[in-house]
Amino acid sequence: QVQFVESGGGLVQAGGSLRLSCAASGSPFTFGFMGWYRQAPGEQHELVANISSSGSTNYADSVKGRFTISRDNAKDTVYLQMNSLKPEDTAVYYCYVEIFLAEYWGQGTQVTVSS
């Protein structure tokens, strides 16, 4: 019911930057939180960052000070600026949105950070 257009993933050297973008559509309801989960091979998924419709943000401890999440409500688009990337940031990043208590995930985009 929710469609995602995700972009910005790729390969970058340690210390570099990437900017993820996710545009969500297809819901008649206002999105609550929007953000990203990530999952590295053999590991559980974890919440990287999210942002509420009013601009309140949450970050995983591992990315605080390096990642910044922002949101354009008019475009239903969320952005994740990732700076000072580390090899341990390598994962598939899944954009997600919250509608009431339900979460909807995109297909994901690969982020690879080389050492």
Question: What is the spatial distance between Cα 91 and Cα 110, in angstroms, rounded to a whole number?
Answer: 6
The per-residue pLDDT for 70 is: 98
Query: For the chain, what is the mean pLDDT?
Result: 96
Question: What is the spatial distance between Cα 42 and Cα 80, in angstroms, rounded to a whole number?
Answer: 24
The answer for residues whose C-beta is within 8 angstroms of residue 12's C-beta and 6 or more apart is: 18, 85, 111, 112, 113, 114
Maximum alpha-carbon separation in the chain: 44
Question: What is the spatial distance between Cα 56 and Cα 69, in angstroms, rounded to a whole number?
Answer: 10
Reply yes or no on whether the pLDDT at 64 is more than 90. Answer: yes
Tell me which of 9-13, 18-22, 27-31 is least confident: 27-31
